[in-house]
Amino acid sequence: MVTGTQASTSRPYPQSKPRGSFKLAGETWIGVIFIIASILIPALSGSDYWLHIFLLLNLYMVVSICQNLLLTDAGQVSFGQGAVFGVAAYTVGIFSGLHGFPLWLGLLAGLAAGIALGLLFALPALRVKGFYLGFVTIAAATVMPEMLNAFSDITNGINGISLRVRWMHESWLLGMSPLALLIGALTIVTLIAHNYLRTTALGRRMRVAALSPETALTLGYRPGVVRSIAFLVAAIGTSLAGVLYGPLLGFLSPDAFHFDLSIFFFFAVIVGGSGRLLGPLVGTAILYLVPNVLLVDLVEYRLLGYGVTALLIMLLFPDGIIGTIVKQIRQRKTAIRPASIDLRPLLEMNFPKKDQRAAHADEPAVAVKDARRQFGQVVALNNVDLVVKPRTIHGLVGPNGSGKTTLLNVLTGLNRLDGGSVYVFGVKANHLPAAGIAQLGIARTFQTPRIFEDLTVWENLQLGLDANRQPSDEMLLAAFGKLRQPLSECWPEQLSHAQRRMLELLRCIGTGSDLLLLDEPAAGLSGEERTRFATLLRLLRDELHLTVVLVEHDLSLVWRLADEITVLDAGAVVARGNAAEVKENPAVQKLFWGERDA
């Protein structure tokens, strides 16, 4: 077991909880064994030819793992890894091969060049999504070998560069050379690093940014930043493999870095099973070994074999090989047990006196004036005024489509007003970026809960804790700590719709925000669950001094809980006041029951 510290958040967990420990996933162990075998066996057999093939395979596997990181963890369709690989390799060749600089200098230069190019690919990723990035990177991958030829005075063009590093190929250990040991170590480290990254807050944030940039913003961080970090990490790994390519082959030529190479890494990831840790290893092995080993005598048919293999595997196993295997294993398990989240640790918290939050003592948590928002012909918000006093529960009710969710979107910066003003904790929020608004201390839930199926229930909850900027929420952390064990074994598919809403709510509480915006959190809850939910909300208001804006359709819940209520219809405010006033208002009754004019 490898132990390691949790996360990159600035707050340590309280001492009473056990330190987080990092366990290698089953797939990683299998991968490590495979890597060791792939180098040891050819080395022991004494065949230089086979050792060479498998060492090259290992270099390619490193790049495929980085490609997998970019594609699945960060959600970026980038074909640029071949170009990064080639630039790193060629820079080593130019420095050490053509100009005779010492090898270590060449390696460093190669690393720097590769990383620079990899980061360059991050720039379009910040502006455009999906396949656009794919085409930009394919274009770059096509242009790179052409540029290698065009600038032949620097790169020696089609003549290539020779790079002999004799000592790296001598036999050191069990028939393995220093180069073989280095490459094997690199592959193993890359695999483990990928595994480790997924257990960190950064890794979680990457996946969230890829799957739901909106959620990332409401948790207070910018998807673009974590995306750039993903490109950086992938560039580092790919460049490390690239700089070893020259010493391995002894020779560099522009042909070796045709854009086909970039497509190869992409194929390898998806054929193996994108998202699986072992996927890139399996995919690379199959797509490299089948044409180059099985078809080694039929040179003309190598390309055809490679294309047909990729196509067939995609048609037969759309989830990739490892993905399909894992899916089969999961489906054989007996029917999933529904799970639910126990609220008691939170309800049983002991609260000391809280002074910090008195900072926002009297100014309204939310002040909206004359808000106007139109989508084409549809008027979503029609001169809406809303004032939410701090440390209250404010109910926001109205028929479907009356503008409640639009209002929440405006408050969190996911939508902008056409006219009017929005103030959150006294700060004008009309033009603040959404991540910035979240950092003021707001968290929200969505009508369709943003729960991530590939993370455990605990990890989903951790997303909130990762975003917690309050320095001293010891008691809250202790309460969440009690939930860690049971929820680490639980997956979102075991949660009912109502439980997913609870999970999202708990995530919001975990962020330590002072203002919670809840969009229909009680939908689907049983009577008993509703009572517990109401108790939780009162506790948050009275003990943690939070402010809650509650959008709800369950009017009896709203009448019970809310200190003040605003009623919307067709984007306009039609009533406001406390529960007693609003409940008896005949216009409100007509609105919800829909009585015909007599």
Partner 1 sequence: MDEFFIILIRGIGIGAVYSLVAVSFNIVYQSSGILNFAQGHMLILGGVFASIFLPQHASVLTWFVLLGAGALCLAILMAIQGYITLLPLKSSVEQHSWLITTLAVSVIISALILITKGPFTLVVRDPFPPLRAFGVVTPAAYVIAPVLAITACLALRWFHSRTLIGLAMSALSQDLDAAKAAGIRVRRLQILSFAISGLVVGAAGFSAGSILTITPTSPINYVLNGFVAAVIGGIGSNAGALVGGPLVGVLSMWAAYNAGGEYQNAVSLALLVIILMFRPQGLFGRVSARQV
Partner 2 sequence: MLEVQGLCSGYGRLPVLQDVSLSVKPGEIVLLLGPNGVGKTTLMKTIAGFIKPSKGVVRLNNADITGHAPEEIARNGLRLVFEGHRVFPELTVADNIRLGGTRISRAEFMTRQERVLELFPMLRQKFRQPARDLSGGQQQMLALSQAFVAKPSVLLCDEPSTGLAQAILPPIFRLLSMWASDGAAILMIEQYVDQGLALADRGMVMERGRIVLEGSSAEISTNPKVRQVYLGTDA
Bridge-based pairing of strands 419-424 and 366-375 is antiparallel
Nearer to partner 1, 140 or 168 (CB): 140
Out of 41, 314, 432, 579, name the contact with partner 1 by CB under 8 A: 314
Stretch of residues binding partner 1 (CB under 8 A), selected from 163-171, 302-310, 527-535, 538-546 = 302-310
Residues contacting 191, CB < 8 A, separation 6+: 28, 31, 32, 35, 65, 277, 281
> Does 587 help bind partner 2 (rule: CB under 8 A)?
no
Do 51 and 43 contact (CB within 8 A), yes or no?
yes
Q: What does the per-residue mask of binding to partner 1 show for 93-112, with x meaning CB under 8 A?
A: --------------------
Among 127, 121, 91, 118, CA closest to 106? 91
> Does 150 help bind partner 1 (rule: CB under 8 A)?
yes
Token duo for residue 217? 């913003």
Counting residues that bind partner 2 (by CB under 8 A) gives 37
Token duo for residue 362? 């009297």
Nearer to partner 1, 176 or 287 (CB): 287
Out of 524, 532, 538, 577, name the contact with partner 2 by CB under 8 A: 524
Do 450 and 215 contact (CB within 8 A), yes or no?
yes
Nearer to partner 1, 100 or 376 (CB): 376
Alpha-carbon distances of 184 from 34, 55, 177, 358, rounded to whole Å? 10, 8, 11, 57
Q: Restricting to residues 303-342, which ones interact with partner 2 according to CB under 8 A?
A: 336, 338
Separation CA 321–CA 57 (nearest Å): 18
Q: What does the per-residue mask of binding to partner 2 show for 401-420, with x meaning CB under 8 A?
A: xx------------------
Token duo for residue 241? 């493999």
> Does 577 help bind partner 2 (rule: CB under 8 A)?
no
Residues contacting 272, CB < 8 A, separation 6+: 64, 278, 279, 280, 281, 282, 283, 284, 286, 320, 321, 322
Separation CA 208–CA 227 (nearest Å): 11
Shortest distance (Å) from residue 216 CB to partner 1:
8
Shortest distance (Å) from residue 315 CB to partner 1:
6
Q: Which element (helix H / strand E) includes 307?
A: helix 299-316
Stretch of residues binding partner 2 (CB under 8 A), selected from 60-68, 94-102, 510-518, 585-593 = 585-593
Binding at 143: pick from partner 1, partner 2, none (beta carbon under 5-8 Å per type) = partner 1
Do 60 and 288 contact (CB within 8 A), yes or no?
yes
Q: What does the per-residue mask of binding to partner 1 show for 12-41, with x meaning CB under 8 A?
A: ------------------------------
Beta strands in 200-353 (DSSP E): 251-252
Bridge-based pairing of strands 442-444 and 515-519 is parallel
Q: Restricting to residues 368-397, which ones interact with partner 1 according to CB under 8 A?
A: none
Do 94 and 151 contact (CB within 8 A), yes or no?
no
Phi, psi of 549 (to 5 degrees): -105, 120
Alpha-carbon distances of 581 from 366, 393, 575, 578, 589, rounded to whole Å? 22, 16, 9, 6, 12
Nearer to partner 1, 118 or 320 (CB): 320
Q: What does the per-residue mask of binding to partner 2 show for 527-566, with x meaning CB under 8 A?
A: --------------------------xxxxxxx-------
Nearer to partner 2, 114 or 398 (CB): 398
Separation CA 43–CA 273 (nearest Å): 29
Stretch of residues binding partner 1 (CB under 8 A), selected from 165-173, 300-308, 514-522, 573-581 = 300-308
Shortest distance (Å) from residue 376 CB to partner 2:
6
Q: What does the per-residue mask of binding to partner 2 show for 363-402, with x meaning CB under 8 A?
A: -------------xxx--------------------xxxx
Out of 90, 231, 306, 533, name the contact with partner 1 by CB under 8 A: 306
Beta strands in 214-310 (DSSP E): 251-252
Nearer to partner 2, 273 or 395 (CB): 395
Separation CA 218–CA 450 (nearest Å): 11
Separation CA 365–CA 424 (nearest Å): 6
Nearest 5°: the CA angle 438, 491, 207 is 45
> Does 296 help bind partner 1 (rule: CB under 8 A)?
no
Binding at 190: pick from partner 2, partner 1, none (beta carbon under 5-8 Å per type) = none
Stretch of residues binding partner 2 (CB under 8 A), selected from 37-45, 201-209, 290-298, 493-501 = 493-501
Separation CA 61–CA 65 (nearest Å): 6
> Does 127 help bind partner 1 (rule: CB under 8 A)?
yes
Binding site for partner 1 (CB under 8 A): 71, 77, 124-132, 134-136, 138-140, 142-143, 146-147, 149-150, 213-214, 217, 223-224, 259-260, 263, 266-267, 270-271, 274, 300-301, 303-304, 306-308, 310-311, 314-315, 318-320, 323
Binding site for partner 2 (CB under 8 A): 336, 338, 376-378, 399-402, 453, 493-498, 520, 523-524, 526, 553-559, 569-570, 583, 589, 591-596
